[in-house]
């Protein structure tokens, strides 16, 4: 049988062993079994075991004078009683072993649950770190592109030194921008430093092998047909 007393769920079992012996099991607040390993608190899950013996009924007769007669008991089969007691004892031990196994299994499950919770927290922290790093990288990328945009304005205005400073600021925020190296190569070419221009154009091509504008500029430089109007500004 089961009941809900307003605070928790209680379940009781009565297991008949024989016609005279019964095993009673009771579980209280079974909904709180996952907190089995914690300290006791009010409403903690509990278990009870009881053994019930039904005594033989005594036949009460009255004497002719109206007084009670001595109880009349039927013959008792001691062999049958010994067998019943042995069976009851075996059943109790079996149930006790089963409860021990259930307790150990519950502890193992709680240990696994705790490990899963720790792993879940670790994954949650890792996800937060990834999101934070992504946000930081996006901000740096936006700032780097703003520096490159300003450098292009200075480049068109002929202010190559200031344009170069803006490119350097962009590379400090993101050192993997192929466009920044290509722009720096064009600035150095305008400043007459062909060697540095070539180095930066090669760096841009290494970071982005599909950068066709840089490849064409290097090819033209190698063939001595590079013109100032062919500089990379985008």
- Count helices and strands in the chain by DSSP H and E runs: 5, 4
For residues 29 and 10, is the Cβ–Cβ distance under 8 A? yes
- Residue 138 reports pLDDT greater than 90: no
Range 218-225 average pLDDT? 82
Report pLDDT digits (tens) over 7-60: 667 767 777 777 777 777 666 766 666 555 555 555 566 667 776 776 555 444
Return the higher-pLDDT residue of 68 and 142: 142
Residue 66: per-residue pLDDT = 57
Instruction: Please give the torsion angle defined by the CA atoms of residues 12, 15, 21 and 23, in that order, rounded to the nearest 10 degrees.
Output: -50
CA triplet 25, 26, 30: central angle to 5 degrees?
A: 130
Judged by DSSP in three states, 225 sits in coil
- For residues 182 and 232, the answer to whether their CB atoms sit within 8 Å is yes
Q: pTM of the entire structure?
A: 0.46
**Closest residue by Cα to residue 200 from 167, 229, 151:** 167
Q: What is the pLDDT of residue 137?
A: 73
Give the pLDDT confidence score for residue 199 in this predicted structure: 94
Please tell me the distance from the alpha carbon of residue 148 to that of residue 146, in angstroms, as a whole number: 5
Residue-wise pLDDT tens digits, 73-125: 555 566 666 677 787 888 888 888 888 888 888 888 888 888 888 888 778 77
Domains of the chain: 141-230 (1.25.40.10)
Q: Does the pLDDT at position 202 exceed 60? A: yes
pLDDT value for 58: 47
What digits encode the pLDDT tens for the residues 151-183? 999 999 999 999 999 999 999 999 999 999 999
């Amino acid at each position: 049988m089961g009941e809900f007393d307003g605070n928790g769920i209680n379940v009781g079992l009565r297991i008949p062993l024989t016609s005279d012996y019964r095993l009673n099991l009771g579980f209280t607040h079974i909904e709180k079994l996952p907190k089995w390993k914690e300290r006791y608190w009010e409403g903690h899950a509990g278990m009870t075991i009881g053994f019930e013996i039904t005594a033989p009924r005594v036949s009460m007769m009255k004497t002719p004078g109206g007084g009670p007669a001595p109880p009349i008991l039927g013959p008792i089969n001691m062999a049958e009683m010994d067998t019943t007691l042995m069976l009851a004892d075996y059943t109790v031990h079996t149930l006790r072993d089963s409860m021990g196994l259930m307790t150990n299994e519950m502890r193992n499950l709680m240990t696994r649950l705790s490990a899963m919770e720790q792993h879940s927290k670790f994954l949650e922290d890792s996800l937060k770190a990834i999101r934070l790093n992504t946000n930081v990288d996006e901000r740096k990328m936006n700032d780097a592109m703003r520096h490159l945009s300003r450098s292009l304005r200075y480049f068109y205005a002929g202010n190559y030194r200031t344009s170069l400073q803006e490119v350097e600021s962009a590379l400090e925020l993101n050192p993997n921008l192929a466009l920044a190296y290509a722009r720096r190569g064009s600035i150095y070419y305008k400043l007459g430093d062909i060697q540095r221009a070539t180095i930066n154009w090669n760096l841009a091509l290494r970071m982005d092998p599909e950068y066709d504008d840089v490849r064409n500029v290097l090819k033209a430089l190698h063939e001595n047909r590079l013109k100032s109007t062919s500089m990379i500004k985008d």
